[in-house]
């Protein structure tokens, strides 16, 4: 049940962020992620399709919940926070490089006072 719960939670996050859900592949009685992790095991390969439909139904029911829009906005804020962190990391890397460029503009050519 833990594997099914993690798969459902991950797919809810995917769907609230606007991405497509992760499709499960069937191998014998198993439902497997594209990465090869077994999410669920049906009684036999014939009932595997029913299990897949059941899991898809749970995701569809989740979308009908009144809290869905709140989750979508929280996911959007999380994405914005991640983007801001990435931008800050880029700025932190570019900053020292720009400092050197300013020195080169201030002292074109060789200067015995600075290492530029």
pLDDT per residue of the chain (116 residues) written in tens, 0 to 9 = 788 888 888 888 888 888 888 889 998 889 999 888 898 988 887 889 899 898 899 888 888 888 888 888 888 887 787 777 877 777 677 766 655 555 555 555 665 665 55
Residue 33 vs residues 3, 15, 60, 70: alpha-carbon distances, Å: 11, 16, 19, 28
Short-list 6, 4, 11, 10, CA closest to 30: 4
Residues 76 and 34 in one domain: no
Same domain, 59 and 73: no
**Res 85: pLDDT:** 80
The answer on 45 and 11 residing in a single domain is yes
Count CA atoms within 13 Å of residue 21 on its CB side: 19
Residue 73 lies in domain: 69-116
pTM above 0.95, yes or no: no
Can you give the pLDDT at residue 103? 53
What integer pLDDT is reported at residue 92 of this predicted model? 76
pLDDT at 78: 78
Taken in order 53, 55, 56, 61, the sign of the CA dihedral is: positive
The strand pair at 38-41 and 30-32 is best described as antiparallel
- Domains in the chain, number: 2
């Amino acid at each position: 049940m833990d594997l099914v719960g993690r798969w459902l939670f991950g797919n809810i996050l995917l769907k609230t962020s606007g991405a497509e859900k992760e499709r499960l592949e069937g191998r014998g009685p198993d439902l497997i992620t594209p990465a090869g992790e077994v999410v669920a095991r049906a009684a036999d390969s014939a009932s595997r399709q029913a299990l897949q439909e059941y899991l898809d139904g749970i995701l569809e029911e989740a979308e009908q919940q009144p809290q869905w829009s709140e989750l979508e906005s929280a996911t959007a804020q999380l994405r914005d926070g991640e983007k801001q962190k990435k931008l800050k990391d880029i700025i932190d890397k570019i900053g020292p490089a720009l400092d050197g460029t300013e020195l080169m503009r201030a002292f074109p050519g060789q200067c015995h006072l600075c290492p530029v």
